Amino acid sequence: MKTYIIKKLFIAILTVIGVITVTFLLLYLSGDPVATILPPEASAADIEEFREKMGFNQPIIVQWAQFFGQVAQFDFGESYISKQPVIALISDRAPASLILTAAGFLVSIAIAIPLGVISAIKRFSIIDNIVTLFALLGQAMPIYWLGILLVILFGLRLGWLPISGNDTPKHLILPAITLGVSLIPIVMRMTRSAMNDVLEQDYIRTAKAFGISKASIFVKYGLKNAILPVIAVVFVQAGTLLSGAVVTETVFAWPGLGRLATTAILAGDYPLVRALVILSTVFVVFANLMGDILIAKLDARIRFN
Amino acid sequence: MKQKTVIANRFLLGLITLATILIFTTPAFSKDSITVALGTRLGSLDGWNTAAMVDWTVCNQIYDSLYILDPTTFRPKPNLAVSHKMLDDYTWQIKLRKGVKFHNGESFDAHSVKFSFERVLDPERKLYNQVKWSKVIEKIDVIDDFTIQIKTKKPYVVLIENLATLDTGMVPPNYIREKGDSYFSSHPVGTGPYKFASWKQGDRVELVANENYWNGIPKIKKATFRIIPEASISTAELIAGGVDVVGRMRSEQVRTVKKSKTAKVLSVLSNRGHFIQFDSIGRAGKSPFQNIKVRQAVYHAINRPAIIKMVLEGYGKDLNGPLSSTYFGFDPSVADLEPQYNPEKAKKLLAEAGYPDGFNAQLSVYEQKSVYEAVQGFLSKVGINTKLNWYGADLSTLVQLRNSGKVKDMGAYSWGSVVYDPDYFLPYWFGMDSARNYMKDQEISDWLAEAGREFDEAKRKKLYRKVQIKIIENAFWVPVFNEKALYGVNKKLNLVALGEFPQLRSCSWQD
């Protein structure tokens, strides 16, 4: 188990280093943001002076090394736009994002796993077909569009729910559903196929022969074994959830990190963009790592392979 | 199976209960407050240290400048200043208003003005407007508690105009010395009609009325600025009553708001002009637009009144020449010199220029896409097959390309400002040392520099007339339209706005 975790950890660290380098290169290639930072009065000489001050005219390898050194010390610099430390801006927004992501995650699990189990038990029945169709729809529907539709229906027409913002718990409902729906199809299909595999196993037949109640068979022997690959998928989907959050936050004016990232990119606020890309990479890599470790812990076959 | 149903039922019941509890907690509507939707994130609430319109929209309520624009004449009138006189071409003596206090209790006087300017001039503080003011101000002296003297580095004709802008709000010296610039930018203190109350990053800024305001206490006691990036959502909020004002609306929003029972459209003339700039000197590589006849052909090819009527649905105004009509020095007679819509003449000019069968060209655009799609259509009719390079909201990329001389053929931009004087506009596009310059005309550059030094208004007007005429005759630009600031407003609200900036102090609710 230890060697397995160390191996996975090593790969995770390599991935993070790779992403930091790619982030640096992409921002380097997209040029320096001087034009948007300086006022219109700035002359060509002002621009040159500013470039020098910011270190934009040093050789690429020097800039890369400096960048890497700063990241290693969690020094992400100051936002060009807010003139405040990037870390402060991010920690201000992180709670809102965490709440939304967690809520979206719960919504998708709460809907997808029961649906997946039902459709596995009632395989090829009408219910199964309807559920599959629902999954297909969910997969095909852009989050953006769904969010706006929900706003029009529940916010504007019916007036039941607030349209945007995050003042009260009530404000969480529409964004959580919007974000959750994007994850439902894949979790549900995964649950269904995993459950199908398990239900065909010999020990299920044996359990049936022993006369154990159906509910007990499905939950205790079925779902418990089928849940493994589902967990793996859920953790791997952390990235999907994160990118979904960017869109969801924009639609619902939810003051989270996704929104911060969008505005930072559009404004050419590079220190902020860099920090956000790196942190979200760390988050996704860490989630994957957790998924791997969890599976290994639950399943001896993987651990010793 | 049975057990399962029970679990499912309980779960559902729980969900319904939760939803019901949450739904019946809406706060009651109060007419003592106003909520304004902003499209992008706020950066800094230190007006001297930002370039963003959203920031100024909020700063405008918190700070007072020495002068303020008269909303009818668009010329500056005294605000925290009461009067000024010029001692010579370099020296301005300004008398200040007495009895004004900052929100934190500090008194406003000549020392506050001196501090406000010396702060921006300090290169160590790295404020955004340092570049601008360090080119203008030599030094600033306190004569007595309510008189200051500003010495400029050059004869600076538009000093008073520049003291009326939103980015010159007076700041409290003791507060900033104690708390520092960074804290100040997120906890602003001014002398203005509203006091800063709170800021929830990425979500909202809340202000409360300044009950001691020297120029009349605001009628609306609480002002909230909410950041709502998605246009259709801010429109929905407006119609549902969640926000009261939505600024810079697009035409599809306007249509929705017009149909609604709860909101109305308010259009206010702004000085923002939209124009197409040609690469007249082939800065980005050889281009057909280096030929004046081709540029004139484009002028003739575009039916500008039709664009205003059909695409903008009337929410726009003719733009004749580079200056919109509210600018100092705008000369209405230049309209007669402009090439008028005449596709036949355009084709003839193209043939004379050696393009009887037309050619392929590029047009780089970052806003008002539908307008430039119409332009694309007009150009294709005379044989110029135009590819639209769409930069969407990614203005910074286009700005970077433009300033480094890489925008081929045609670029579409706009300029609007809080200084209604050409000196705060044309030199940045036509000055020889400007990165935006794609025509490099020495004569225009010289006239503009001269007008910036000339104190005689009649002489300045003459110079700007020459500039306008030369730009039209050489067809360096094709002006497309003069924007109207479009607001979506709650039907019961009387909104007062100066161009793109709402003036909350003068707003009120109808009974």
Q: A266 is written with which tokens?
A: 């559009």
User: Nearest C-alpha of chain B: how many angstroms from A238?
Assistant: 23
Q: A101 is written with which tokens?
A: 């992501």
Within 10 angstroms of residue B356's Cβ, the number of other Cβ atoms is 11
CA of residue A230 relative to chain centroid, distance: 16
Q: Could you say which of A39, A110, A250 has the minimum Cβ distance to residue B230?
A: A250
Q: What distance in Å separates the CA atoms of residue B223 and residue B207, rounded to the nearest whole number? A: 5
Q: Could you say which of A114, A163, A260 has the minimum Cβ distance to residue B236?
A: A163
Identify the weakest region by mean pLDDT among A146-150, A188-192, B13-17, B316-320: B13-17
Structural domains in chain A plus CATH codes: 2-72 (no CATH), 93-267 (1.10.3720.10)
Taking the alpha carbons at both ends of chain A, their separation in whole angstroms is: 10
Q: Give per-residue pLDDT as tens, B375-396.
A: 999 999 999 999 999 987 667 7
In this prediction, residue A32 has a pLDDT band, given cuts at 50, 70 and 90, of low
- Which 3-state string (H, E, C) describes B463-489? HHHHHHHHHHHCCCEEEEEEEEEEEEE
Chain B contact for A137 (CB, 8 A cutoff): no
Per-residue model confidence (pLDDT) at position B374: 95
User: Nearest C-alpha of chain A: how many angstroms from B220?
Assistant: 22
Nearest to B154 by CA among B181, B142, B136: B136
Average pLDDT of chain B, as a whole number: 90
Tell me if B240 and A35 make a contact (CB, 8 A cut-off): no
Tell me if A151 and B181 make a contact (CB, 8 A cut-off): no
- In B28-74, beta strands by DSSP E: 33-38, 67-69
Is residue A206's pLDDT more than 90? no
Helix (H) or strand (E) holding B110: helix B110-121
Nearest to B472 by CA among B439, B436, B505, B508: B439
Q: A218 is written with which tokens?
A: 């499905």
User: pTM for the whole thing?
Assistant: 0.79
Tell me if A168 and B25 make a contact (CB, 8 A cut-off): yes
The DSSP letter of residue A201 is: S
More confident residue, B332 or B400: B332
Q: What distance in Å separates the CA atoms of residue B62 and residue B188, rounded to the nearest whole number? A: 8
In this prediction, residue B413 has a pLDDT band, given cuts at 50, 70 and 90, of very high
Per-residue model confidence (pLDDT) at position A267: 73
Helix (H) or strand (E) holding B147: strand B147-152
* B136: closest chain A residue by CA: A41
* B435: closest chain A residue by CA: A44
Contact B205, B186 (CB under 8 A): no
What mean pLDDT do residues A241-265 have?
86
Tell me which of A82, A143, A173 to substitute to probe the interface with B (most B C-beta atoms closer than 10 Å). Answer: A82
Residues of A in contact with B226 (CB under 8 A): 164-165, 253
CA diameter of chain B? 95
The DSSP letter of residue A27 is: H
In this prediction, residue A76 has a pLDDT band, given cuts at 50, 70 and 90, of confident
Per-residue model confidence (pLDDT) at position A34: 67
Q: Which residues contact A91 (CB under 8 A, 6 or more apart)?
A: none
